[in-house]
Homo-oligomer: A and B are copies of this chain.
Amino acid sequence: MKIISENMAFGGRQLVVAHASTVCGGEMTFGLYLPPQAEAGRVPVLWYLSGLTCTHENAMVKAGAQAWAARAGIALVFPDTSPRGEAADDAAYDLGQGAGFYVDATQAPWAAHFQMWSYISEELPALVFDQFALDPARQAITGHSMGGHGALTLALTYPERFRSVSAFAPICNPTQSDWGRKQFAAYLGGDEALWVAHDAVELIKARGLTLPLLVDQGGADKFLDLLQPQALEAALAGPDAVLRWQAGYDHSYFFVASFMEDHIAFHARALFA
């Protein structure tokens, strides 16, 4: 593990860390924000999973999360969205590097490196809880677009691990979307029965929702037909599941930043309960 950069931010420390990943078979990079409270002991952690084309850096510099995380005393982890370097790639923006889709690939040429599910759910947590003042008993997760899909599917698969889940304009029903079917076919193969474990709407139908959920979706988002928030909305039930339509907002980081304060406050309520 090596610290690539460190910047003081809002009284805490914004790190960029590179490390050798066994599951992804190469070097991986992530951002980690440690709030001022981490100097005094272990703090809760909010995972932030990014969307298509992003690296660890985009949300770290554009989502405005550190301001609120510093006040709440919550650490932020910003993983990359795929393996890099020697990993296979594809000319399209929505497959290969920058588009790991938070699954473990079983198909060539992806299987050798594209193990993002195991990376995010096992390897990276083991590293950060070992190396930094983070509390594994207090985790929450969020994400944007493809990263919202990752956050929802991870939280629904490991509801005992996360106290709360949120998402900004998530891909909700990827087995029924061109943001999903293309990637699942490439990474997981043609057996669609294997895809449903990575579809938030299907997971809610199969398992129910047992942790607090907050989703914001811009009403002017030009990707609504790919995100399918209506399918998630129809699957949600109960007072702890809230999907809010935000009129006029698009799919950009300006949208994410606009509601970040709300999301951090939502997670803080669960993490400090």
Q: A residues bordering B, Cβ < 8 Å?
A: 7-11, 14, 61-62, 64, 66-67, 218, 220, 248-250, 252-255, 257-258, 261
Contact = CB atoms under 8 A, between A and B. Distances in A.
A84 to B, nearest CB: 23
B254 A9 contact: yes
B10 A253 contact: no
A92 to B, nearest CB: 24
B14 A254 contact: yes
Contact of A7 (B10, B64, B66, B250): B250
19 contacts: A7-B254, A8-B218, A8-B248, A8-B254, A8-B258, A9-B254, A9-B255, A9-B258, A10-B257, A10-B258, A61-B61, A61-B62, A61-B253, A64-B257, A66-B254, A66-B257, A67-B67, A67-B257, A67-B258
A257 B9 contact: yes
Number of copies: 2
Contacts of A218: 8
A10 B62 CA distance: 14
A248 B6 CA distance: 11
Main DSSP-derived SS at the A contact region? mixed
A17 to B, nearest CB: 16
A220 B253 contact: no
A237 B258 CA distance: 39
Contacts of A258: 8-11, 67
A8 B257 CA distance: 11
Contacts of A62: 61-62
Contacts of A257: 9-10, 64, 66-67
In the complex, which of the residues A61, A249, A250, A254 has the most CB atoms of chain B within 10 Å of its own CB atom? A254
A249 B253 CA distance: 25
Contacts of A14: 254
A81 B261 CA distance: 31
Contacts of A252: 7
A169 to B, nearest CB: 13
A10 B63 CA distance: 12
Count chain B CB atoms within 10 A of each CB in A9, A62, A218, A220 and give the residue with the most.
A9
Contacts of A250: 7-8
Contact of A8 (B7, B11, B64, B255): B255
